[in-house]
């Protein structure tokens, strides 16, 4: 199971709908994650109510990409992003696995 962080800015239309009829969006979307074999870990608004952060677990990157694409295509958010978060253990393994890679040369730097 992998952990992901969604971030998006609600459109003015989305915010207007929530102002007219407030609802607990975490309760509304939690079953979506369960149906995909995952879990909603948290749902946060940034001061002002426009920005949203959602942390969740899903079985794999393909499932997360499909879910993020459906949310993005809904039109409820502007500039939505979905980031896979890595555990400390995953990062340490990745850093250790990079040991055999030749030195990276940035563009424009001498060899």
pLDDT score, position 100:
66
Q: Are 3 and 84 in contact (CB under 8 A)?
A: yes
Read off the tokens for 92: 């340490």
Q: Closest Cα to residue 8, out of 30, 25, 20?
A: 25
Per-residue three-class SS string for 3-65: EEEEEEEECHHHHHHHHHCCCCHHHHHHHHHHHCCCEEEEEEECCCCCEEEEEEEECCHHHHH
Q: Percentage of the chain surpassing pLDDT 70?
A: 95
**Higher per-residue pLDDT: 83 or 101:** 83
The predicted model scores a pTM of 0.84
Per-residue model confidence as pLDDT tens digits over 73-86: 999 999 999 999 99
Is there a contact between 10 and 76 (Cβ–Cβ < 8 Å)? yes
* pLDDT tier at 3, thresholds 50, 70, 90: very high
Average pLDDT, the chain: 92
pLDDT tens readout for residues 45-94: 999 889 999 999 999 999 999 999 999 999 999 999 999 999 999 988 88
């Amino acid at each position: 199971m992998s952990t992901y962080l969604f971030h998006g800015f609600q459109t003015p239309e989305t915010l207007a709908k929530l102002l007219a009829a407030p609802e607990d969006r975490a309760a509304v979307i939690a079953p979506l994650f369960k149906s995909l074999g995952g879990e909603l870990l948290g749902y946060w608004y940034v001061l002002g109510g426009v920005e949203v952060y959602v942390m969740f677990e899903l079985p794999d990157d393909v499932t997360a990409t499909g879910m993020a694409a459906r949310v993005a295509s809904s039109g409820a958010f502007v500039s939505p992003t979905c980031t896979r978060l890595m555990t400390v253990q995953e990062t340490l393994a990745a850093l250790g696995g990079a040991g055999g890679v030749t030195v990276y040369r940035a563009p424009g730097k001498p060899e």
